[in-house]
Amino acid sequence: MRPPAEAIGTLALIVGAIAVAIFIGVEGALVYAVWRYRTSRVSTPARFDRNTRLELAWTAAPALTLAVVFVLMLGTLRDIGAATDAQLRIRATGHQWWWEFDYSGIVTANEMHIPIDTAIDIELASVDVNHSFWVPELGGKTDMIPGQINHLRLLTRRPGVYLGQCAEFCGVEHAWMRIRVVAETKEDFDRWLATQGSPATASGDGARVFQSNTCVNCHAIRGTSARGEAGPDLTHVGGRATIAAGVLPSDAASIRAWLVDPQRYKPGAFMPRVPLSDADLDALASYLGSLR
Ligand SMILES: [Cu+2]
pLDDT tens digits for range 84-114: 788 999 999 999 999 999 999 999 999 999 9
Residue 122 has pLDDT above 70, yes or no: yes
* Gap from CA of 180 to ligand 1 centroid (Å): 15
Residue 82 has pLDDT above 90, yes or no: no
Comparing C-alpha atoms, which of 236, 270, 271 is closest to residue 257? 271
Find all residues with CB under 8 Å of 222, minimum gap 6, and list them. 199, 200, 233, 235
* Gap from CA of 172 to ligand 1 centroid (Å): 9
Q: Tell me if residue 152 falls in helix, strand or coil.
A: strand
* C-alpha distance from residue 271 to each of 97, 106, 112, 181, 255 (Å): 10, 23, 22, 24, 13
Range of the domain at 239: 205-290
Q: Report if residue 11 sits inside a domain.
A: yes
Q: Based on the domain organization, do 96 and 165 belong to the same domain?
A: yes
Q: Based on the domain organization, do 92 and 129 belong to the same domain?
A: yes
Query: 183-232: per-residue pLDDT in tens?
Result: 999 999 999 999 999 999 888 899 999 999 999 999 999 999 999 999 99
Helix axes 278-290, 252-260, angle to 10 degrees: 130
Query: 228-256: per-residue pLDDT in tens?
Result: 999 999 999 999 999 999 999 999 999 99
Q: Based on the domain organization, do 76 and 92 belong to the same domain?
A: no
Q: Based on the domain organization, do 104 and 176 belong to the same domain?
A: yes
Q: Report if residue 249 sits inside a domain.
A: yes
Q: Based on the domain organization, do 76 and 136 belong to the same domain?
A: no
* Gap from CA of 244 to ligand 1 centroid (Å): 14
* Gap from CA of 145 to ligand 1 centroid (Å): 12
Determine the Cα–Cα distance for residues 111 and 284; give it in Å rounded to an integer. Answer: 22
Q: Based on the domain organization, do 36 and 70 belong to the same domain?
A: yes
* Gap from CA of 223 to ligand 1 centroid (Å): 32
* Gap from CA of 175 to ligand 1 centroid (Å): 7
Query: 125-183: per-residue pLDDT in tens?
Result: 999 999 999 999 998 899 999 999 999 989 999 999 999 999 999 999 999 999 999 99
Q: Report if residue 192 sits inside a domain.
A: no
Q: What is the mean pLDDT of residues 107-122?
A: 95
pLDDT at residue number 255:
95
Number of domains forming the structure of the chain: 3
Q: Based on the domain organization, do 75 and 93 belong to the same domain?
A: no
* Gap from CA of 130 to ligand 1 centroid (Å): 7
Determine the Cα–Cα distance for residues 101 and 108; give it in Å rounded to an integer. Answer: 5
* Gap from CA of 77 to ligand 1 centroid (Å): 24
Q: Report if residue 194 sits inside a domain.
A: no
* Gap from CA of 174 to ligand 1 centroid (Å): 4
* Gap from CA of 24 to ligand 1 centroid (Å): 40
- Please report, for the domain that includes residue 154, its CATH number: 2.60.40.420
* Gap from CA of 278 to ligand 1 centroid (Å): 34
Residue 47 has pLDDT above 90, yes or no: no
